[in-house]
Each structure stands twice: as structure tokens, then as C-alpha cells.
A and B are shown apart, each in its own frame.
Chain A
Amino acid sequence: MTPSTIELPVTADDYRIARYAAAAIALTVAETALPSPLPGIKPGLANIIVLVVLARYGWRDAAWVSLLRVVAGSLVIGQFLAPGFFLALAGALCSLAVLALAQYLPPRFFGPVSASVLAAFAHIGGQIVLARLWLVPHDGVFYLLPLFATAALVFGAINGLVAARLLDLPAVAPAEAAA
């Protein structure tokens, strides 16, 4: 076998993003094992990772982790290019757009919980708009909005708290450097 002549330089950034994306994908896969009362209502645990990356390394890395999570996560659970994949992608893009703005909230008053709740609402918003335009071309989907919004609020707050707690941990940094 001829050794590849193409050399792709791998930077420390790439390793870091890959590591966080792997964690996010693991959470996505774990989450599919949880029963859901309504299709579309999920805790979105992978977003904890996105929030941590956003706070530590900025929006660009968070976007990489989030989108890698959507693509690779859907490949792992066999949903790639299925409707669920596009809904997840729409949600991820919307919440990334909102996070791009939310990162400029004054840090004195706003923590990861705010970012998480806003992103969760954006996530639900993106999904329901895509669902309305494409999957269920009927205003009936909006009847579910209160339920989705409630889930977004609850899970957004919980994920934000977990992200805040993780960011609060001083012990994670050295372990991560060693990994």
C-alpha cells in the first residue's frame, strides 16, 4: 500500500474540537436511550458541551462542536439525512445564531444559564419553523409550541446550570491538558 501523499496538518485546535465533539456525540447517543413523551422533546445534553466550549474557546469552536455533533451524532444513531437530522440541524443553526449574540451579554449579570435558555428557545424555534415549512405544512404544529417551549425552558435551565457548574470546576483544566 502506498503511503498517502496528502498530509493534513492537524492543529491543537482540531484535537480540542474533536475531543469536545466526541463528548457531545456520546451525550447525543446516550440521550437516544431516554424515553421521550413527545417526538422532539429531548434534554439536549450535548448542548452542555457546546456551552462549555463557547465559554472557554469562543463561538467558532462552539459552532464546530455543535455541527460536528449533529452530523456525526446522526450518523451514529442512523438518522443521517432523515427528517430528524434536518430538524436537529435547523435547531443547531438557530441556537448557534442566538449564541453568537448571547455571548455579548454582559458577563456581570448573565451566565451560562441565560445562554442555555436562549439557545434552547432558538433550537425549538428553528425546529418548529422547519417542521411547519416542510414536514407538517399546517399551522397545527404550533399547537405544540407551549409544550416545546416548556421543555426548552426546563432543559435549557438545567443544561445551563450543569454547564455553569462544569465551568466552575477548576479540576477539569489539568485533566484535559493531560488527555
Chain B
Amino acid sequence: MTGRVPEGLRELLAQAAGEGHAPWRTLLKAGDWALLLMAALLVAASYPLLWRGGVADRAIVKRDGQLVTELALNTPRKYEVVGAIGTTVIEVQPGRARVLSDPGPRQYCVQQGWLTRANAVAICAPNHVTLQLSGRSGQNGAYDTLNY
């Protein structure tokens, strides 16, 4: 029994390498090809479909939890918000937004850089200002918040 196993294995490996066999493609029938093609198309289509939901299209700026403004993420512009200790500057570019400058001592929200995903948020706590991105699906986006 034990002696036979490696022998059979060697044989199997030789056969797996294609010895004395028709090529692999003969193992596929017409329906298999069709199904593989369809599956490949579906898989390819699933990439943009599932990842589109995460694309942000609006920037929501709040002060003390109150909505200050909503900026569409399609034209570049800058927006100034007067907060508790100074002025926070929000910069918007197509598809992304960031806190350009903030009077806060630690600059966390500035260092966060560009926000690109829906529901990503930059919080400038000392100045009581938040910048949040919102996706196509509005409040029912993919995430409640995103932090890094």
C-alpha cells in the first residue's frame, strides 16, 4: 500500500503535466466557455458597480454640529468658515475636499489631507468645524464615518 502511493503519484503528476493527454481546452465544452465568459463579464461589471457607491459628490461643512454649507465636488473652490477660534479654510476640487488651513494647535484635520471617499470626515475640534463628504446615496452611504 505505502509503496504504491508515490508510484501512483508520479504517474498522476506525469499525467497532470499532460503526458499522453488531449490539451486542457478539450475539457471545456461550448456551454462551459459561454458560462466562463458570462461569469467573467459579471465579475468585471461588479468592480465599478460596487465601488461607485463610495464616490463622494458633496462636501458638508458644519460648525458646532450645525450645517454651514454643502459644497458640490465638481468645481474647484475655497470656502471659509468662521469657527470658535478663527477661520477654517476648506478647499474643494473635483471629487475631493480638504481642510486647507485651520487655526487649531495640532492641525490634525489639515494633515489628514484630501478626503475622497463618501462619509470620510475631517474634524477640526478646536475650531468646532467638521468637513464631511457625502456620497450619491446620501445619508445611507456605505459608512457612517471614515477615520484614518
Binding site for B on A (CB under 8 A): 105-106, 108-114, 117-118, 121, 139-140, 142-143, 145-146, 149-150, 153, 157, 160-161, 164-165, 168-169, 171, 175
| Count class of interface residues, chain B | 20 to 34
Measured CB to CB, the nearest residue on chain B to A138 is B143
Partner of A117 from B8, B15, B30, B35 at Cβ < 8 Å: B35
Partner of B32 from A110, A139, A140 at Cβ < 8 Å: A110
Classify the interface of chain A: helix, strand, loop or mixed.
helix
Please give the distance in Å from B45's CB to the nearest CB on chain A.
9
Binding site for A on B (CB under 8 A): 8, 11, 15-16, 21, 24, 27-32, 34-36, 39-40, 42-43, 46-47, 50-51, 54, 142-143
Provide the residues of chain A in CB contact with B142, threshold 8 Å: 139-140, 143
Number of A-B residue pairs, CB cutoff 8 Å, is 73
| Listed A/B pairs (29) with beta-carbon separation below 8 Å | A106-B31, A108-B29, A109-B30, A109-B31, A110-B31, A111-B28, A113-B28, A113-B32, A114-B31, A117-B35, A117-B36, A140-B142, A140-B143, A142-B50, A143-B142, A145-B50, A146-B43, A146-B46, A146-B47, A146-B51, A149-B46, A153-B39, A153-B40, A153-B43, A160-B32, A161-B24, A164-B27, A165-B15, A168-B21
